[in-house]
Structure 1
């Protein structure tokens, strides 16, 4: 007689039930695994996009006409947030738009990849206007906006220097910020105290100034990156920002006989981790001589 576990349930029934349960459990688990769709990393066909770009570059090298519309579109696909800030104004060709936008991408990417302090420059910059209107200044900037007026430039090559200078204002006024609520009274924005007492830019201003309108008595022409930089602390910052990023060799020459210039060089070297955008290796015959402005060196 078969030993009973319960009144009407023997050991053979128990093992049958256990086997059936295990079978369906494994079947259910297997079907779930088979039915799951893992996230694919093949969502975008970047190979085709890059191959198309390679073909376009090869055509360009062999004298075929450049398609600036395609290149600009491709550029904006890589970094749409950069392009969303741009406003084109005036009579600009597609080739002009591509060339000027490419340099804008290069500078902005460099700043955010290498700047060690402050909020990202991309976050500080809200609007970038490129226009071809005549009779206006070559460039201008606030804490969040840059305007470039192409027709006011003597040479097309000035664009890079002017844009790097204007980005200096974005770094200074928009990216580098203090956290204290107390405002410094000596440096203002149109007469209104704006800078927190721990704003990093104040250290730079004080290298050669007691206040926004008063230069230190020891500060001479050799202690500035350019004549234009002597006009106020904000242009001083932007001019040396441009000089360091594009002509660091020249900056080092200027610093040979000026402790103030040594401090300014080291300020930007530490801000950017000693990285430079490019170095044109311009030379200075007289170490105390200064250019009118750093954008036309």
Structure 2
């Protein structure tokens, strides 16, 4: 009697990763496309929608990175670790200036983005208020220890972007410093409250020894993203 044979079940092959089209461009090196795509996924979808333009320059531009409400421009002439950190710094600017916005009906604030008013119901205002009296001046009594880096003290937008990348890539060191400084504690808490779903994606290779770094994007870390962030889709 002939026995029915079952059809062997093929082992599913991994699905090919689909990169976000904004990064999947021929003039961007493949490794930079993947780095940017993975990093971009950490922010909420409604914030992702604000990125309209992404460019990587390989001609040694004057600035390693530039970012704003809808555009990120990075140099591709740096190590991958630094490229990722630069992306997060500029992603901080996009989150601050693009994703978080207020409305005119809420009223004005002492904070301006060049000639544009930043409105009172913009979530970023409560971050700026921690260290900034207005767009140019620190609050009275503010010290260099109140900023995650020297560059963060430059203006309120760099304060946000440097704090953002510090929170993303060096969260445990940020937390330790926050335990010793009220302003840093308030900034750390701000990210926990306003971006509660930002995953922990890295382990810092730095230790807090009291020396304030100038530039967070130059600090070493181990990239350890959760599986769902790098899973093939």
TM-score by length of 2: 0.81
The aligned counterpart of 2:218 is 296
The aligned counterpart of 1:167 is 91
CA distance in 1, matches of 2:203, 2:141: 30
CA distance in 1, matches of 2:24, 2:69: 16
How far residue 183 of structure 1 moved from its aligned partner, in angstroms, is 5.1
CA distance in 1, matches of 2:153, 2:192: 21
Listed as ranges, the gaps of 5+ residues in structure 1 are: 1-47, 55-73, 114-119
CA distance in 2, matches of 1:104, 1:270: 25
Matches within 5 A, 1:244-283: 244-273=167-196, 275-283=198-206
How far residue 85 of structure 1 moved from its aligned partner, in angstroms, is 5.9
**Change in 2 beyond 3 A, CA 1:180/1:135:** closer
Q: Which has the higher helix share?
A: 1
Secondary structure of 1:217's aligned partner: coil
The answer to whether the Cα contact below 8 Å between 1:107 and 1:277 also exists between their aligned partners in 2 is no
**Aligned with residue 107 of structure 1, among 23, 35, 39:** 39
How far residue 132 of structure 1 moved from its aligned partner, in angstroms, is 0.7
Deviation by residue 1:59-86 (Cα, 9 ceiling, x = unmatched): xxxxxxxxxxxxxxx43xx35xx21466
Q: Indicate the structure whose relative CO is greater, using CA pairs within 8 Å and at least 6 residues apart.
A: 2
CA distance in 1, matches of 2:103, 2:42: 25
TM-score by length of 1: 0.65
Whose radius of gyration is greater, 1 or 2? 1
The aligned counterpart of 2:30 is 98
**Change in 2 beyond 3 A, CA 1:274/1:220:** farther
The answer to whether the Cα contact below 8 Å between 1:249 and 1:279 also exists between their aligned partners in 2 is no
Structure 2 residue 127 is matched with structure 1 residue 204: yes
CA distance in 1, matches of 2:87, 2:61: 18
Secondary structure of 1:268's aligned partner: helix
The answer to whether the Cα contact below 8 Å between 2:23 and 2:36 also exists between their aligned partners in 1 is no
Give RMSD over aligned pairs.
2.3
Deviation by residue 1:252-283 (Cα, 9 ceiling, x = unmatched): 12112210100000111122226434232334
Listed as ranges, the gaps of 5+ residues in structure 2 are: 1-9, 220-233
The answer to whether the Cα contact below 8 Å between 2:23 and 2:37 also exists between their aligned partners in 1 is no
